[in-house]
Amino acid sequence: MTHPTVLSQSVRSRREAWAWGADRLQRAGTPASAALLEAEVLLRCAAGLTREELLARPSCELEETALVGYAGVIARRVGGVPTAYIVGRREFFGLELLVDGRALIPRPETEHLVDVVTAALGGRAAPVVVDIGTGCGAVAIAIARALPFARVLATDVSAAALDLARINAAGFRVEDRITWALGSALDPLDRLTGGRCVDAIVSNPPYIPTSEVARLPKEVREHEPAAALDGGPDGLNVHRAIVGGAARYLVPGGMLALEVAALWDQAATVAGLIAATRAFDAPGIVRDYAGADRIVVALKRRDESFGHARR
């Protein structure tokens, strides 16, 4: 680690600090394009700058406290701490959410889950949506913001994650339309729904096979919550729990939408699990912008003769 006083003697301007940080990150193994972006984000965090201020006046000298702070956050990033945890924020679906070690960092690919659900429910007057494994509240809050008359029921196995999600919901003024509950998979739904069916059940569950967790990047496996990553032997333990009972809680025509990993053929497996229940129409698979299978979607059959309906 470069000592902060060495940095303060050799680097003075915003431009120099930015280049220094990007070089340190790149030498630690971060790809060049990502290193440049992360160094910018960390510099703005340490110096209290907006992106506009940084780009408009790159030759401005940084104060000593900003230089020392910047050296410190670069050292933490080189040590493996995710940038989002260092700055305490992550953008998701146009919302800047608070993030920390209590919950998984929201990924851009999960925005597809919000897109699928909000597109399907946009014509319903006051839909009720269940978000299982809400984490920092990203999906629940994005849906509540996109559908102003929706009510969201959000669950998680971590009380600490739910505390963080509540803070985020309050920050975006949707806390009055989201109900939170502690519990695994579908376990909290009886008390949450009060015996009434919902319009959609959505989830980005843990989906990393246990044997693959040790192969994840250091910043993920050592800093993000293990319970939000490890999905069991094939990564689908929580998917199975949700699929097995989801129809019981959905209205006829209600939607089940589950995120899966692009690897390990999970989309086809989850689609097969859904089809095997005989409670849903043929499931579909939605690809992300990279062309990878990302979301498995199915609608509950309107013919309720299979016997799972709740009144």
At 3 the pLDDT is 44
- Structure tokens that stand for 60 in this block: 């401005």
Per DSSP bridges, beta strands 250-259 and 95-98 are unpaired
Inform me whether the pLDDT recorded for 93 exceeds 70. yes
Query: How much is the average pLDDT of 226-253?
Result: 97
Inform me whether the pLDDT recorded for 236 exceeds 60. yes
E strand or H helix at 33: helix 32-47
Which tens digit of pLDDT belongs to each residue from 156-204? 999 999 999 999 999 999 999 999 999 999 999 999 998 899 999 999 9
Which tens digit of pLDDT belongs to each residue from 11-55? 889 999 999 999 999 999 999 989 999 999 999 999 999 999 999
Task: Look up residue 305 and give its DSSP letter.
Answer: T
Inform me whether the pLDDT recorded for 5 exceeds 60. no
Query: How much is the average pLDDT of 65-79?
Result: 94
Give the C-alpha distances (Å, rounded to integers) separating 19 from 11, 29, 43, 189, 287: 10, 16, 10, 51, 36
Q: Which residue has the tokens 């994005």?
A: 142
Q: What does the DSSP assignment read for 204-216?
A: ----B-HHHHTTS
Inform me whether the pLDDT recorded for 310 exceeds 70. no
| SS3 assignment for 62-129 | CCHHHHHHHHHHHHHHHCCCCHHHHHCEEEECCEEEECCCCCCCCCHHHHHHHHHHHHHHCCCCCCEE
Inform me whether the pLDDT recorded for 8 exceeds 90. no
Inform me whether the pLDDT recorded for 115 exceeds 70. yes
Contact 97, 138 (CB under 8 A): yes
Which tens digit of pLDDT belongs to each residue from 120-161? 999 899 999 999 999 999 999 999 999 999 999 999 999 999
Which residues are CB-contacts of 123 (< 8 A; sequence separation ≥ 6)?
none
User: What dihedral angle (degrees, nearest 10) is formed by the CA atoms of 310, 115, 181, 241?
Assistant: 60
- Tell me the pLDDT of the chain averaged across its residues: 93
Contact 141, 117 (CB under 8 A): no
Half-sphere exposure of 293 (CA within 13 A, CB side): 18
Contact 186, 241 (CB under 8 A): yes
Q: Which residue has the tokens 């509240």?
A: 137
E strand or H helix at 137: none
Inform me whether the pLDDT recorded for 80 exceeds 90. yes
At 220 the pLDDT is 96
- Spatial separation of the C-alpha atoms in residues 155 and 144, rounded to whole Å: 15
| pLDDT more than 70, % of the chain | 95
At 7 the pLDDT is 64
